[in-house]
Amino acid sequence: MSAVASPSRRVALVGRANAGKTSLLMHLTGSLQRPVNFPGSSVECVESDVVEQGVVLRIIDLPGLGSLSPQSRDESVALALLDGRDEAPPDLLCVVLDASKLAVELRLLQQLRARQRTIVVALCKVDVAAAEGFPVDAARLQAALGLPLVVVNGATGAGVATLRALLATAPLVAPPAMATDAGAEAVASVHRDGAAPQSRTDRIDAWLLHPVFGLLALVLLGVLMFQLLFTVATPVMESIESVQQWIGDGVRSLVGPGALQSFLVDGVVNGVGSSLVFVPQIALLIAFVTCVEASGYMARAVFLLDLLLRKVGLSGRSFVPLTSSFACAIPGIVASRILGNEQDRLATIAVAPLMSCSARLPVYVVLLAAFFPPHQAGLVLFGLYGLGIVMAALVATLLRKTVLRGVSSPLVMELPVYQRPRVRLVLAHTWLAVKAFLRTAGSVILVATVVVWALGYFPHPSAIHERYEAQRAVHGQDADGERARAALDGAEAAAYLEQSLLARAGRTIQPVFAPAGFDWRLTVGVLAAFPARELVVPTLGTLYSLGEVEVGDEPDVRLRDALRTATGPDGKPTIDGLVALAVMAFFALCSQCVGTLAAIRRETNSWRWPVFTFVYMTILAWVVAVAIYQVGRWLGYGA
């Protein structure tokens, strides 16, 4: 090791999961730079630089380790880096120890020591240890270990400056040899004897892990999350939509009508807007989940639900990704990294998109309002969410019995002490998740929107324009004439769409959806929604001859009426309650989101799983939609 005089040092931050590495890293580097959604889910190791006393400290954040034999993907990554399998090993190990379970932590320290690498110990959660009835004497621990040791506080950042200085200046020498039982002596020397008294966490757990009250609290928490997502995020989403419309109008006034205007407004602005609109919900969800996780409750939820989820071939830990998927499957799929067992993880990823995400809600709302009285609408909505959950359970069971056979991963899980979530950590996690969403899903959705726009725009023959221009000229300049012209504008837009490539494709494919009762316009809507579900409402609006329909601008009322009164060539209404139900079931189960498939591709590192997910969900959606329509007809409902 010639790095003593080197101006830079590579420091690996090593520790067990939950030891407090994330908070420590945030204080060490001044910012949280991990591209993660949840603590304990960082598979990629991110390096961040910080300069201390003229030395560049390159801090590598390793995923949490349980021991030096890898159990999960996270641990394999950490070990490969620690041993320098792909690149040079780190110069220095900063071992993060959790004072509240020192005996276990010291076992890992002993194993790391044997690797003959310079070690600096950061002792975290000394306050937790004291509160739990096991106070730690840091000075005596340091003496027993014979290693440089700093007490740090993850909440306040106290001691971090000292630690940083130590990391920059500590001589790079292997730790002194030590008998294996010295760790135990060290623990004995710092632990007071006697049983632990009832701590605050024990008192809270008596309620939250109670067989009845515990489950009740869990349900309440779920309800609270949904309420938050729908009540808090909706106004923000609406204001994003109005900004989007304002920008669209601005572009319209700058660029004359034609292909360029349509491309900019309908393609680019709508494409960017339709992904931006999900930012409030994703941010809220991540903030909420980070709070629940940081408070220590998430592990309790896993504990309460483990048996139930195991019955359907998943694991208690699947609870986190599946819950997230109700807002958006993309963060949910990323969160499935916390599953130790690969079979559990893949099964969870494959069924996560069946949870009814927030992008499906606008479709449900429009159709429910058009075809169901309010007292039935709520029930149907509940049924649609239930449909996704039941199907997820069936698919997961089936997968675990066939391609993903194998034993469930063991649930050896720590239930941490309850803590108040730290605002800074929550904000940092939320910002990282939003940034990742904007970068990946945003670009994919944008490209997909532009493709759908092009298919719906071209060939755009000028004959249609001339025909409508002639009709417009007939009407006078008074208010009646204005209204008539506006109606003609809408009809013109519909006429263009009707002869577009998208509509031709819709008519070609319509026989496939005929058994589900879809007419060619619904078929086009379904096709247009494949890149992203949020495209369906504007597409249906145009198809049912309303002209441009903007979501959020009281359009739902107009679209609702148009859907209700639309008639086919035979004069009979094309959509009734039964068809609406089939459409909604189709949307509930179908994989219509390029962003989700991209996330699955990234997380499974193969094309097999996104292709499989897309195929099975589309077939499942079709089968269920057809079944609903055919059974409904047989029972005498519908036309």
Partner 1 sequence: MILGVDGDDALVQQLEASGLWCGVAIERLATAPFGDPLLFRVHGYRLALRQSEAARVRVRETGA
67 lies in the binding site for partner 1 (CB under 8 A): yes
Return the number of the residue (205 or 238) whose C-beta is nearest partner 1: 205
Which secondary structure element, helix H or strand E, spans residue 46, and what is its range?
strand 46-52
What is d(CA 443, CA 438) in angstroms, rounded to the nearest whole number? Answer: 7
Least distance in angstroms from the C-beta of 206 to partner 1: 8
Residue with tokens 């675990």: 400
Q: Which stretch binds partner 1 (CB under 8 A): 37-45, 64-72, 223-231, 551-559?
A: 64-72
Least distance in angstroms from the C-beta of 107 to partner 1: 7
DSSP SS3 for 519: coil
- What are the Cα distances from residue 84, in Å, to 79, 81, 117? 8, 5, 12
Strands (E), 83-242: 92-98, 118-124, 149-151
Return the number of the residue (304 or 426) whose C-beta is nearest partner 1: 304
Q: What is the DSSP letter of 3?
A: G
71 lies in the binding site for partner 1 (CB under 8 A): yes
Strand partners, 51: 56
Return the number of the residue (92 or 151) whose C-beta is nearest partner 1: 151
Q: Where are the alpha helices (DSSP H) in 146-232?
A: 160-169, 182-190, 200-208, 213-227
129 lies in the binding site for partner 1 (CB under 8 A): yes
Among positions 387-446, residues that touch partner 1 (CB under 8 A) are 410-416
Q: Which of 66, 267, 442, 525 binds partner 1 (CB under 8 A)?
A: 66
Nearest 5°: CA angle at 386, between 384 and 388? 75
Return the number of the residue (37 or 100) whose C-beta is nearest partner 1: 100
Provide the token pair at 223: 């309800």
What is d(CA 326, CA 429) in angstroms, rounded to the nearest whole number? Answer: 19
Among positions 279-318, residues that touch partner 1 (CB under 8 A) are 299, 302-304, 306-308, 316
Q: Which stretch binds partner 1 (CB under 8 A): 3-11, 197-205, 329-337, 513-521?
A: 197-205
Question: 423-457 and 594-604 helices cross at what angle (nearest 10)?
Answer: 120
Return the number of the residue (114 or 474) whose C-beta is nearest partner 1: 114
**CA-based nearest residue to 102, from 13, 184, 199:** 184
Least distance in angstroms from the C-beta of 371 to partner 1: 39
Q: Which of 26, 59, 93, 102 binds partner 1 (CB under 8 A)?
A: 102
Least distance in angstroms from the C-beta of 29 to partner 1: 28
Q: Which stretch binds partner 1 (CB under 8 A): 132-140, 175-183, 396-404, 580-588?
A: 132-140
Return the number of the residue (100 or 591) whose C-beta is nearest partner 1: 100
Return the number of the residue (104 or 484) whose C-beta is nearest partner 1: 104
319 lies in the binding site for partner 1 (CB under 8 A): no
- What are the Cα distances from residue 265, in Å, to 142, 272, 329, 533? 65, 10, 27, 19
What is d(CA 442, CA 436) in angstroms, rounded to the nearest whole number? Answer: 9
Least distance in angstroms from the C-beta of 339 to partner 1: 14
115 lies in the binding site for partner 1 (CB under 8 A): no
Q: Which of 108, 217, 298, 432 binds partner 1 (CB under 8 A)?
A: 108
Q: What is the DSSP letter of 316?
A: G
Return the number of the residue (160 or 217) whose C-beta is nearest partner 1: 217
What is d(CA 537, CA 366) in angstroms, rounded to the nearest whole number? Answer: 8
209 lies in the binding site for partner 1 (CB under 8 A): yes
Least distance in angstroms from the C-beta of 398 to partner 1: 23
> In one letter, which amino acid is 607?
W
Q: Which of 46, 104, 369, 389 binds partner 1 (CB under 8 A)?
A: 104
**CA-based nearest residue to 304, from 392, 387, 208:** 208
166 lies in the binding site for partner 1 (CB under 8 A): no
Least distance in angstroms from the C-beta of 217 to partner 1: 12
Question: 423-457 and 279-295 helices cross at what angle (nearest 10)?
Answer: 150
Return the number of the residue (274 or 315) whose C-beta is nearest partner 1: 315
What is d(CA 607, CA 596) in angstroms, rounded to the nearest whole number? Answer: 13
Residues lying near partner 1 in the complex (CB under 8 A): 66-67, 69, 71, 100-104, 107-108, 129, 132-134, 195-196, 201-202, 205, 209, 211-212, 214-215, 299, 302-304, 306-308, 316, 410-416
